[in-house]
C-alpha cells in the first residue's frame, strides 16, 4: 500500500474520515485570557477534559480518553524533563508543541499501520499579560496553530464556530472577573451544544444544572499573580460563581 | 521470555530521569584532594499551636570562610511540604530540586498528590543514593522534612528528621540539624518539658519570636550559624506549615515579633 501513492492518499483520506467520525459529539472547550489569568472551561465527567501540565501550562482536549491521556503524559514528561535539566522558565509552549507534541501526532496519523491519536487539543501558556498568553490548537493530524491572547474555541470537526468566535471577540474582555468570564464562556458552550441563542442578557443567568445536566463542569485557571510557581487551580462551579443547582 | 527492562513506575520522576540518563545524584567518586565544601548550618522545626514552624539561618561557610549570609535553607517543596537543609549545599540543593520536581510530576501525571509516607521515603531514598559521597565526607546532608498528613482532618503538620544514611524519624515536638543544632535541641527540650508556656502551645507571634531567639543563641555558640540581626535588617528564613499549607514569614513579621509584646509588663 505504502509504495503506491494513490492508495496511500486514499488510506490517509479514509483515516481522516475515521478520526473525524470518532471525534463527533465531543463537548467543546473554551479558553479566555483575562487580566487575572487564563481560564479553560469544558464540560465532561470530572478530570477528563482540562489538565495541568506544568507551572504555567495547561491543556484541554476532546477525543478518546486514552489518547488524551497519552498526549497529556507526553507533555508532562517533556515539560518536567526540560524544567529539571534546564530551568522552569525554559519550558515554552512553542517548543513543547512544535518539537514534541505535534510531530508525534503527525507521525502517528500518517503511519497507516499505527493507531492515530483520536484527539483534538488546546495547549495554553500563561504569559505576563493577557496579550502575551499563548494558545496552541493541535489537531489530530499534527497541524498546529498558535494564537496570542483573546479567546479560543475547541470543538468537534465540522462545527461552525464562526458566530461564537465573533460573539466572544465582541463581548469577552480581559478585565472581566472570573464569574463574568465563566458565565460568558458557558453561554457559548450552550450555543455550540444546544443551539441556544448567543446573548449576554440572561437575567438571572440559568442554573448550571439546567445547562449541563448530570455532567461535570471542568475549569482550569492559570492565575497570573500567585505566590507559588505552580499557577494552575482547578476551580469548582462555586468558585466561578456558577450556582450548581436550582435553589429549592 | 526476553530480558526486557522492568516497566517504569507510574508517576516516578526519578525513573523518568534514569530513562533519559539524567539522574540528579549518580554515585560519585570523590578523591582525597576534593575541595573544601561549603557547609554548617542551624535548621530546626517545632510544633506550635497552629502547626509547625521551620527555621534556618542564612549563612554558608567553607572552613573558616563565610561564603554568604543570604542563602535560603528552608525550601518549599510544594504546597504542603518543606525541606530544611543542613550539610553540603551542592548536594542538598540538588536533592531539594529533584524532590520539588518529583512531587509536582507525580501530582500532575497521576492526578493526585503524593502521600506523606511516600514523600518521607522519597527523601530517604535520595539520602541513600547519596551514600558514596556521604561516606567520603564530601556530600553529607542531614535534612529536616515537614509535611501535611492529609489523612487526618484537619490536615496535621508532621516533622521528620534524618540521619546522613537516610534513616527517617518522626519528631514528636521538635527537630534540629546542623552545627548549631545541639544548642537549639537543648533549649527546645528544656522548654517543651519544663517551660511555661511550652513551645507546642505558643501562638504564631510567640512561635516566630522563639524561633528567632533560638537562632540568635545558636549563633553565639556556633560561628557557622548566621543568626539574626535586627539592627542590620538581617533575619532568618522562617516558614510555617499549617492545615492550610505552607506560608512564608516575611522579614517585617519577624521584626514585629521581636518587638516587646504589648501585653508584656
Is A84 in contact with B79 (Cβ distance < 8 A)? Answer: no
Total number of domains in chain A? 1
Query: With a cut of 0.85, is the ipTM above it?
Result: yes
The predicted model gives A101-116 an average pLDDT of 94
The predicted model gives A45-70 an average pLDDT of 94
Please report the domains of chain B, with CATH numbers, ordered by start residue.
Answer: 56-81+88-257 (3.60.20.10)
Higher pLDDT, A242 or A172: A172
Nearest of B225, B174, B153, B180 to residue B53 by alpha carbon: B174
Which of A89-93, B36-40, B49-53, B224-228 shows the lowest per-residue confidence on average (mean pLDDT)?
B36-40
Nearest of A188, A159, A239 to residue A31 by alpha carbon: A188
Q: Is B105 on the interface with A (CB under 8 A)?
A: yes
What tens digit of pLDDT does each residue of B136-162 get?
877 889 999 999 999 999 999 999 999
Contact indicator for A117, A66 with CB cutoff of 8 Å: no
What tens digit of pLDDT does each residue of B90-140 get?
899 999 999 999 999 999 999 999 999 999 999 999 999 998 888 887 788
Q: Specify if A227 maps to a domain.
A: yes
CA distance linking residue A123 with residue A94, whole number of Å = 10
What's the order of all strands across the beta sheet hosting A144-148? A50-54, A57-63, A119-125, A134-138, A144-148
Kindly list the residues from chain A whose CB atom is less than 8 angstroms away from the CB atom of residue B111. Answer: 47, 51
Name the pLDDT band for B26 (thresholds 50, 70, 90). Answer: low
List the grid coordinates of B91: 548536594
Kindly list the residues from chain B whose CB atom is less than 8 angstroms away from the CB atom of residue A47. Answer: 111
DSSP assigned state of B258: H
CA distance linking residue A99 with residue A136, whole number of Å = 13
CA distance linking residue B85 with residue B66, whole number of Å = 17
DSSP string, chain A: -TTSHHHHHHHHHHHHHHHHHHHTTPPPEEEEE-SSEEEEEEEESSSSSEEEEETTEEEEEEE-HHHHHHHHHHHHHHHHHHHHHS-GGG--HHHIIIIIIHHHHHHHHH-TTSPPP-EEEEEEE--SSGGG-EEEEE-TTS-EEEEESSEEEE--TT---HHHHHHHHHH--TT--HHHHHHHHHHHHHHHHH-----S--SSPPPHHHHHTTSEEEEEEEESS-SSS--EEEEPTTTTT--SS---
Structural domain of A117: 28-235
Is B79 in contact with A228 (Cβ distance < 8 A)? Answer: yes
Q: Specify if A53 maps to a domain.
A: yes
DSSP count for chain B of H helices, then E strands: 7, 12
Q: Is A175 on the interface with B (CB under 8 A)?
A: no
Q: Specify if A32 maps to a domain.
A: yes
Q: Is B97 on the interface with A (CB under 8 A)?
A: yes
Q: Which residue of B has its CA nearest to A73?
A: B109
Burial class (CB within 10 angstroms; exposed 0-12, middle 13-18, buried 19+) of B9: exposed
Which residues, 6 or more positions from A133, have their beta carbon under 8 angstroms from its beta carbon? A33, A38, A124, A125, A126, A127, A148, A149
Angle in degrees, 0-180, between the axes of helices A5-23 and A102-110, rounded to the nearest 10 = 120
Q: Cell 525550601 maps to which residue?
A: B75
Nearest of B166, B177, B164 to residue B136 by alpha carbon: B164
CATH number of A213's domain = 3.60.20.10
Q: Specify if A16 maps to a domain.
A: no
State whether residue B242 is helix, strand or coil.
strand
Q: Is B19 on the interface with A (CB under 8 A)?
A: no
Q: Specify if A17 maps to a domain.
A: no
Q: Which residue of A has its CA nearest to B246?
A: A228
Name the pLDDT band for B30 (thresholds 50, 70, 90). Answer: very low
Whether omega before B214 lies within 30 degrees of 0, making that bond cis, reads no
- Give the bridge partners for B84, in sequence order: B74, B144
CA distance linking residue A193 with residue A197, whole number of Å = 11
pLDDT at B207: 98
Q: Is A50 on the interface with B (CB under 8 A)?
A: no
State whether residue B36 is helix, strand or coil.
coil
Q: Cell 525513573 maps to which residue?
A: B15
Q: What does residue A20 show for φ and ψ, rounded to 5 degrees?
A: -60, -40
CA distance linking residue A31 with residue A60, whole number of Å = 9
Q: Specify if A176 maps to a domain.
A: yes
Residue B56 Cα, gap to closest chain A Cα (Å): 20
Q: Specify if A73 maps to a domain.
A: yes
Q: Which residue of B has its CA nearest to A50?
A: B111
Active site residue B91: no
Q: Specify if A88 maps to a domain.
A: yes
State whether residue B49 is helix, strand or coil.
coil
Higher pLDDT, B4 or B117: B117
Active-site hit among B41, B91, B237, B242: B41
Q: Which residue of B has its CA nearest to A76?
A: B109
Q: Is A77 on the interface with B (CB under 8 A)?
A: yes
Which residues, 6 or more positions from B87, have their beta carbon under 8 angstroms from its beta carbon? B39, B41, B139, B140, B141, B142, B143, B164, B178
Pick from A51, A73, A85: which is nearest to B22 by CB?
Answer: A85
Strands A216-223 and A57-63: unpaired
Amino acid at each position: 500500500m505504502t509504495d503506491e501513492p494513490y492508495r496511500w492518499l486514499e488510506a490517509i483520506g479514509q483515516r481522516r474520515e475515521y478520526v473525524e467520525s470518532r471525534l463527533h459529539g465531543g463537548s467543546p472547550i473554551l479558553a479566555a485570557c483575562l487580566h487575572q489569568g487564563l481560564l479553560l472551561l469544558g464540560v465532561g465527567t470530572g478530570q477528563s477534559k482540562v489538565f495541568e501540565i506544568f507551572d504555567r501550562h495547561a491543556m484541554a482536549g476532546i477525543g478518546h480518553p486514552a489518547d488524551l491521556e497519552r498526549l497529556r503524559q507526553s507533555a508532562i514528561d517533556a515539560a518536567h524533563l526540560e524544567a529539571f535539566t534546564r530551568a522552569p522558565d525554559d519550558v515554552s509552549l512553542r517548543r513543547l508543541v512544535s518539537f514534541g507534541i505535534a510531530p508525534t501526532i503527525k507521525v502517528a496519523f500518517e503511519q497507516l499501520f499505527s493507531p492515530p491519536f483520536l484527539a483534538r487539543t488546546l495547549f495554553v501558556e500563561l504569559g505576563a499579560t493577557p496579550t502575551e498568553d499563548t494558545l496552541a490548537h493541535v489537531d489530530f493530524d499534527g497541524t498546529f496553530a498558535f494564537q496570542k491572547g483573546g479567546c479560543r474555541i475547541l470543538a468537534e470537526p465540522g462545527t461552525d464556530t464562526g458566530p461564537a468566535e465573533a460573539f466572544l471577540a465582541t463581548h469577552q474582555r480581559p478585565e472581566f472577573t472570573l464569574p463574568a468570564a465563566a458565565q460568558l464562556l458557558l453561554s457559548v458552550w450552550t450555543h455550540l451544544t444546544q443551539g441556544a441563542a448567543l446573548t449576554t442578557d440572561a437575567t438571572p443567568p440559568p442554573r448550571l444544572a439546567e445547562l449541563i445536566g448530570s455532567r461535570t463542569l471542568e475549569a482550569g485557571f492559570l492565575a497570573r499573580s500567585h505566590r507559588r510557581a505552580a499557577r494552575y487551580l482547578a476551580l469548582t462551579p462555586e468558585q466561578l460563581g456558577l450556582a450548581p443547582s436550582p435553589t429549592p | 521470555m526476553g530480558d526486557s527492562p522492568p516497566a517504569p513506575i507510574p508517576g516516578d520522576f526519578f525513573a523518568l530521569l534514569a530513562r533519559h540518563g539524567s539522574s540528579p545524584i549518580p554515585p560519585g567518586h570523590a578523591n582525597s584532594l576534593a575541595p573544601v565544601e561549603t557547609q554548617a548550618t542551624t535548621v530546626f522545626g517545632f510544633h506550635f499551636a497552629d502547626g509547625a514552624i521551620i527555621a534556618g539561618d542564612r549563612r554558608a561557610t567553607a572552613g573558616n570562610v563565610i561564603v554568604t549570609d543570604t542563602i535560603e535553607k528552608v525550601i518549599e517543596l510544594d504546597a504542603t511540604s518543606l525541606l530544611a537543609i543542613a550539610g553540603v549545599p551542592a548536594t542538598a540543593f540538588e536533592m531539594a530540586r529533584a524532590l520539588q520536581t518529583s512531587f509536582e510530576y507525580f501530582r500532575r501525571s497521576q492526578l493526585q498528590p503524593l502521600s506523606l509516607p511516600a514523600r518521607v521515603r522519597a527523601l530517604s531514598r535520595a539520602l541513600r543514593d547519596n551514600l558514596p559521597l556521604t561516606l567520603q565526607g564530601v556530600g553529607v546532608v542531614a535534612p529536616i522534612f515537614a509535611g501535611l498528613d492529609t489523612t487526618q482532618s484537619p490536615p496535621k503538620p508532621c516533622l521528620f528528621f534524618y540521619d546522613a544514611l537516610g534513616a527517617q524519624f518522626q519528631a514528636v515536638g521538635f527537630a534540629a540539624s546542623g552545627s548549631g543544632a545541639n544548642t537549639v535541641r537543648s533549649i527546645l527540650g528544656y522548654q517543651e518539658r519544663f517551660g511555661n508556656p511550652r513551645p507546642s502551645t505558643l501562638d504564631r507571634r510567640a512561635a516566630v519570636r522563639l524561633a528567632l531567639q533560638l537562632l540568635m543563641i545558636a549563633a553565639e555558640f556556633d560561628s557557622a550559624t548566621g543568626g539574626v540581626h535586627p539592627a542590620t535588617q538581617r533575619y532568618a528564613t522562617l516558614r510555617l506549615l499549617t492545615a492550610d499549607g505552607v506560608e512564608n514569614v516575611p522579614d517585617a513579621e519577624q521584626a514585629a515579633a521581636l518587638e516587646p509584646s504589648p501585653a508584656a509588663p
